[in-house]
Structure 1
């Protein structure tokens, strides 16, 4: 790709292509929770205390020197801010306990809530501010996607059925979720995020048409909010998202973050489907490889992925999802070393 064309691309694409032209890859493991182990904080404390959250991400940055620092992944934050009951284990990510929204009346009661004033949301905004201002790597913030937030409010199976059987009912819920998320995305941008990663794991159970209508179309709006503030967006889906690549890449995002091959994802084929204007991020298995394998096995798996993607300029080396707590530091070091050693 020529320099003239490169200048027209997003900053994420530009930095990815420049790294490729220099014979290296951008390294961006989704590593938040292992930082708790390094910094000596429980996940519960880190997810509720922005200073502790920052210290965990700083520990990852100082130990491994990634090109991108992702904040801790938390799919409960927006639902919690809307009053949905959430469980807070000591050393696991917070999880939504109930999905009580089942009617238009239930939804109406939530419309007056400004989630950016919520104490946990405010904590995440402060964590982004600290990461962005104090670390030299790019800062990437997380937020839920519209289908996923709708599922957290009403239940994943229920919204999947409603999307097909009661589309008008589900559309109202998706529209509400999207508006809440646009407000949160704007606040994350203002806090200093360089990129916002939209987490849409519930979307994997939808067919392409429903996904396009209830996720991608709304993500286009979220992307526009971020772009107006000079911030780019990443679409992340857990599981086999191969049937959704075209819709995801058509939403205007700069990059797709995809799960490991064990789920059915073919990263090279995904890159072909997405096209050269969208960066593909992935996709070492975060549990079977990064947590449960030896350092040498991690090194080998990472090297194999680099060989597979060696002819794909728009590729960022990463993990298929957030690394779990207890991931050995030597395994993350092996992941990083494999990229530095690769001469393919």
Structure 2
């Protein structure tokens, strides 16, 4: 038996939830937690749905089905967490946008915007935690919590820029950031208020951790000035409101981060989750006090080349990731055997503590 096999056979008397909590708190852990939070960072695949006999789009509108499908990720030993929902349209729909729920292999998407420009911010609806898919998510979290699996239970919020650009057509929204700054700030305040409301409701329903994914609010799209003006303050407001109520806040930002390193130093989350294009060694040097999560290429995972996937996972650990994770949401065609390599690699690197 080689050392890797011996390490994989060591028992860990620690729940997955506590493992993630300790990693977030800069405590020594026996291995990297392996998570894929949900929301924009979808962890569900067609093969997994077929295996469990529960599918999209029913899982988007039925809390029992949502909970069962989300739990299957943990029960099949793919990740240390259970997370809901598995899309990033719940908030925008509740605030007035129209959504197509997609299919077994296609995630929900906005098909009609709530307003035409940021000037119409007063026409937006507020999130109602007692109706629609918002209530589905909260009811699913209550079911997951009641099952007491030991998994890290993660609630998900779509980031404020991404919600705003799902309420207003994206190109128009980005133009408005320049042309209508006061109205842009107003819509960001409204969106942020609603996200805080939804986040608090998720925590009350059973979420132990919250992930905020803001793929439309990147440094590459906004540039450092607009990121500092429109993304950073509202992300930080959410973090400040929710951090005292849960075990940790993760923020995922897509794309290269070099242009916003200085701004990221001011980000008040516990964990920064990053894309596959980010150099982890460089990021750790620039953000020495942040817990870093990532960043196994989802394209590699979808390709199914086990040697490449294993090497990428090893590289992430060697380069200092604190939480091993896909770099983005999984493609729905990704195979279970490919996903398992993430957890297997983490266990191969298990240490005595």
- The residue that corresponds to 2:11 in the other structure is none
**3-state SS of paired residue (2:217):** helix
SS in 1 for 2:304: coil
Check whether the contact 2:142–2:206 (CA below 8 A) recurs between aligned residues: yes
Matched, 1:177 2:184: no
Question: Corresponding residue for 1:215?
Answer: 231
**Contact 1:38–1:56 under 8 Å retained in 2:** no
Q: CA deviation at 1:258?
A: 0.8
Give the TM-score of the pair, scaled to structure 2: 0.84
Deviation of 1:16 after TM superposition, in Å, equals 5.3
Q: How does 1:58-69 map to 2 (within 5 A)?
A: 58-64=71-77, 66-69=79-82
Residues 98 and 14 of structure 1: is their aligned pair in 2 closer, same or farther, counting only changes over 3 Å? closer
Which of residues 5, 10, 27 is equivalent to 1:17?
27
Give the C-alpha shift of residue 80 in structure 1: 0.7
Separation in 1 of the partners of 2:304 and 2:26? 28
| Alpha carbons of structure 1 residues 123 and 294: separation in structure 2 relative to 1, 3 Å | same
Q: Which runs of 5+ in 1 are unaligned?
A: 1-9
Q: Give the distance between the partners of 2:121 and 2:128, measured in 1 at CA.
A: 14
Aligned length: 322
Please state whether the residue corresponding to 2:64 is helix, strand or coil: helix
TM-score, length of structure 1 as denominator length: 0.86
In the alignment, structure 1 residue 301 sits paired with structure 2 residue 328: no
CA positional deviation for 1:98 = 2.2
SS in 2 for 1:139: strand
> Is 1:36 aligned to residue 52 of structure 2?
no
After superposition, residues 1-344 of structure 1 pair within 5 angstroms as 11=21, 13-14=23-24, 17-19=27-29, 22=30, 24-30=31-37, 32-34=43-45, 35-64=48-77, 66-91=79-104, 92-103=106-117, 106-111=120-125, 113-134=126-147, 135-204=149-218, 205-261=221-277, 265-276=278-289, 278-286=290-298, 288-309=299-320, 315-342=322-349
| Residues 127 and 32 (structure 1), Cα distance of their counterparts in 2 relative to 1, 3 Å cut | farther
Cα displacement (A) at 1:245: 4.0
Query: Does the 8 Å CA contact 1:223/1:253 hold for their aligned counterparts?
Result: yes
Distance 1:104 1:331 in 2: 43
Q: Which has the higher contact order (CA 8 A, sep 6+)?
A: 2
| Inter-partner Cα distance in structure 2 for 1:209 and 1:104 | 19
CA separation of 1:156 and 1:12: change in aligned 2, threshold 3 A: farther
Secondary structure of the corresponding residue to residue 293 of structure 2:
strand
How many angstroms does 1:241 deviate by? 3.1
Q: How far 1:165 moved relative to its partner?
A: 2.6
CA contact (8 A) 1:12 1:279 kept: no
